[in-house]
Amino acid sequence: MNEEEREKWYRQREMGKDRDREMDAIKSRYLGGEKKRRKLRRLADRKFVFDWDAGDDTSVDFNPLYRSKHQALFFGRGHIAGIDIKAQKKEQSKFYSNLMGERMTDDQKKQALVRDESVKEKERKTKFDERHWSEKSLPQMAYRDWRIFREDYNIATKGGRIPYPLRSWAEAGISSDILEVIHSLHYKEPTPIQRQAIPIGLQNRDIIGIAETGSGKTAAFVIPLLTWITSLPKIVRESEADQGPYAIILAPTRELAQQIEEETLKFAAPLGLRTVAVVGGISREDQGFQLRLGCEIVIATPGRLIDVLENRYLVLAQCTYVVLDEADRMIDMGFEPDVQKILDYLPVTNQKPDTEEAEDPEKMKANMESSKHKYRQTVMFTATMPPSVERLARSYLRRPAIVYIGSAGKPTERVEQRVILLAEGEKRKKLLEILEEPEPPIIVFVNQKKGADVLAKSLEKIGVSQSVLRQQVREIYVW
């Protein structure tokens, strides 16, 4: 094949390749050409081993002298050739400590021992201790113990810098006189609301307590109040008696107010403190006379207290402690405007600042102890927290500590509830059977006052001592 034929052959081959590429392009454009898939290698396929076999290694020296590693010779005691690094460091540390011991005085040595003991004590505290919180002293209580303690008594809190609850009356930090009164009343252990509310009250913090009726709320707010009043000199209390009481306690009904007065007198009377109940059913003049004689605590219903304030029988110039007991009932009964009006009578000079200072226990306690002109403390107890009560709390409480006892909305665990479904004719017989089981006194609720009178007569016939309490005879049994 000459040069000309070879060139013609190459040209035809290139033209054929171009034609094939053109046809492939047309097919892929209009017919959708096949895409070449990447061939996947199976995992079971064996890989080529690039490592040489040990028998093919020609770099091994056949001289056995060079194949063995160098071994350090041990002469005497030592790690390598008589040299032990750990022993050397130990000797150096001893030398430094001995040198410092020679230079230190006896006082400096004692301080060093105290520092070492404090470090060891801190380590002992942080070390996990499986003992129950009741077996530990107060300094040994860790955060985990306090969490278990609150769970045991169904205590939950909300707010900043809440103090730890009380484990016993001895750890309350109150005066010996009040402790004697508590022991004389046979209060062996604080109730859950008292365990948490009393430490907060002793710090002059505002409190919202959400707890059931009959949980010991009266002592929870009376004990911090009496602690502060008894800290004032008696001559100061007598000279400023015309300035009004130090505390007012508001209750929705006069029965509850009288019950609070009875409980408060148990603590206040042995300490020489006076209380006055300002409720309906007693002449306003008689109550005004008692108020003019002077008292430290006033227990009142909102309506009668406004009446006394408007007629100038009472002033609140030095009132620094306000308690709203059963605030939800008070609002439900329509006393919200009256409560707001009473709170507006209070002086504005002793209001807490609405800042973080109101949550600082050190500043609040210093204000409580340094002067009789302390910040006003507002305590609110309620069974529920409706929007109306929240609105009242936002208006008059400053950074309050909220204490929850038990679960909201659940019935109290201290009351056993039984439901018996009976026909109308079987109710009277079943009632008489039930009345024989528990010890008196027993309360029976009926729907109508006529039903109460009929039931009372039937019980009287069988020799059961009874009393009827309804609106017409209310005054007789209350007074």
pLDDT tens over the chain, length 479 residues = 677 787 888 788 888 888 888 888 887 777 765 666 666 666 655 666 666 666 666 666 666 666 666 655 555 455 555 566 777 777 777 777 788 778 888 888 888 889 888 888 777 766 666 788 888 888 888 888 899 999 999 999 998 889 999 999 998 888 899 999 999 998 989 999 999 999 999 998 999 999 877 778 899 999 999 998 888 877 666 777 778 899 999 999 988 999 999 999 999 999 999 999 999 888 888 888 888 888 899 999 999 999 999 988 889 988 999 999 999 899 988 898 999 999 989 988 888 888 888 888 788 877 777 656 788 999 999 888 888 889 889 989 999 999 998 765 555 566 778 888 888 888 888 888 888 887 788 889 988 888 888 888 888 888 888 888 877 766 555 44
Nearest to 206 by CA among 92, 81, 317, 353: 353
Q: Write 450-456 long-range contacts (CB < 8 A, 24+).
A: 455/431
Measured at the alpha carbon of residue 280, what is the angle toward residues 390 and 318, in degrees to the nearest 5? 60
Whether the Cβ atoms of residue 325 and residue 216 lie closer than 8 Å to each other: no
Cα separation, 153 vs 168, in Å, equals 13
Cα separation, 448 vs 237, in Å, equals 50
Q: Could you give the maximum distance between any two Cα atoms of the chain, in Å? A: 149
Beta partners for residue 250, in sequence order: 300, 324
- pLDDT value at position 93? 73
CA-derived radius of gyration, the chain: 43
Cβ burial, residue 302 (10 Å; 0-12/13-18/19+): buried
Whether the Cβ atoms of residue 159 and residue 402 lie closer than 8 Å to each other: yes
Q: Which amino acid is at 136?
A: K
Adjacency order of strands within the sheet including 321-324: 155-158, 401-405, 207-210, 377-382, 321-324, 247-250, 297-300, 275-278
Whether the Cβ atoms of residue 289 and residue 250 lie closer than 8 Å to each other: no
Evaluate if pTM is beyond 0.75: no
DSSP, res 281: T
- pLDDT value at position 416? 78
Cα separation, 345 vs 188, in Å, equals 39
Q: Which amino acid is at 475?
A: E
- pLDDT value at position 304? 92
Helical spans, DSSP H, in 42-191: 64-67, 85-103, 106-126, 143-152, 176-184
Per-residue tokens: 128: 């996990």
What domains can you pick out in the chain, each with its CATH number? 153-405 (3.40.50.300), 424-478 (no CATH)
Contacts of 17 (CB under 8 A, 6+ apart): none
- Residue 168's φ and ψ, nearest 5 degrees, are -155, 170
Per-residue tokens: 410: 């659940």
- pLDDT value at position 221? 93
Residue with tokens 């024989």: 436
Residue with tokens 């038990």: 406
Contacts of 291 (CB under 8 A, 6+ apart): 276, 278, 298, 308, 313, 314
Region of 387 (left: φ > 0; alpha: ψ -120 to 50; beta: rest) is alpha
